[in-house]
Amino acid sequence: MAKNRESAWVKWVVSRIVRATLWLVYKPDWKGTEHVPEQRGAIIATNHLSVLDPLTVAHFLYIGARRWPTFTMKDSVMKIPVVRSVARATGQIPIKRGTTDAVKALEEAEKALTRDDSSVIFYPEGTCTRDPDLWPMTAKTGVARIALSTGVPVVPVAHWGEQQLLPYGRKKPHLLPPRKRVYFKVGPPVDLDRLRGQPLTATVLQQATEAIMADITALQADIRGEEPPAEPFDMKKARKAEREAAERAGNGQDGGDESPRDKNDAEA
């Protein structure tokens, strides 16, 4: 039996405040909302552009798709007193990364999906994209694990435009008129049938994750009218390349004092 996770009066107050505020600063364009199930649990998997997009995603899901948004959110956000109270009263799920509490949070998310029939929003990338052109990056496998272990459908959602309101890394939002257009496009549930029922090996989880991100990327490509990169940006590889470049630069600087003989030997 579905459990009511939220306080009705807090939902009423928060939804009206957020809705009124957002209508003042941006123009939403929602397409494909019919792909979001009207009832039952649903994993809403979406890309991450800006620290503001949780608000636009929640707005889209609540007003456009008529589902209450439940987030898995960083525990650091829950340290803000007012935010903590509102988040708890609206059924949000805090996650402490890298701790045993993270496992408990994922279990809570599974309960929300299977017991409470909630629509739970996940950012598979885990953070705002670092792709230079803001395409979705490679993702973590947590969403795929939950999808395959619970059988709950994964609804891919792509959005584009929040970077005009608050680009990643900036602290001051661009809220002056004219209102910015923010686009959302929803696709049918990701086809994971060939992977369901298989042992949750690293290979299976990676294949499911890539399928989820491919659908999200294709939706964003349709919004933008552009061709996505052949391979998604990999933040780990990029950081490794930066470290190696820094090390090479450091070694080159240290090598500046070598003798001509040493240099000739090295070139030989």
Q: What is the structure's pLDDT at 205?
A: 97
- C-alpha span between 215 and 220 (Å, rounded): 9
Closest CA to 217 of 48, 81, 18, 86: 48
- Residues counted in the chain: 268
Closest CA to 54 of 102, 123, 108: 123
Sorted by sequence, the CB contacts under 8 Å of residue 237 that are 6+ apart come out as none
CB 244 within 8 A of CB 255: no
Q: What is the structure's pLDDT at 85?
A: 76
Q: What is the structure's pLDDT at 19?
A: 82
**For helices 100-114 and 142-150, angle between their N-to-C axes, nearest 10 degrees:** 40
Q: Report the predicted TM-score, pTM, of the whole model to 2 decimal places.
A: 0.85
Beta bridge partner(s), residue 94: 73
Q: What is the structure's pLDDT at 208?
A: 98
Domain map (residue ranges) of the chain = 8-232, 234-268
- As averages over each run of 10 residues, the pLDDT of the chain (268 residues) reads 64 79 90 95 97 93 94 72 76 71 77 93 94 97 95 97 93 86 98 95 97 98 97 93 88 53 38
Q: What is the structure's pLDDT at 101?
A: 58
Phi, psi of 29 (to 5 degrees): -130, 105
> Which conformational region is residue 5 in: left (phi greater than 0), alpha (psi within -120 to 50 degrees), or beta?
alpha
Tokens of 213: 């991100």
DSSP 188-240: SPP--GGGTTS---HHHHHHHHHHHHHHHHHHHHHHHTSPPPSS---HHHHHH
Assess if CATH 1.10.645.10 describes domain 8-232: no
- C-alpha span between 87 and 208 (Å, rounded): 30
Q: What is the structure's pLDDT at 167?
A: 92
Closest CA to 31 of 184, 180, 161, 159: 184
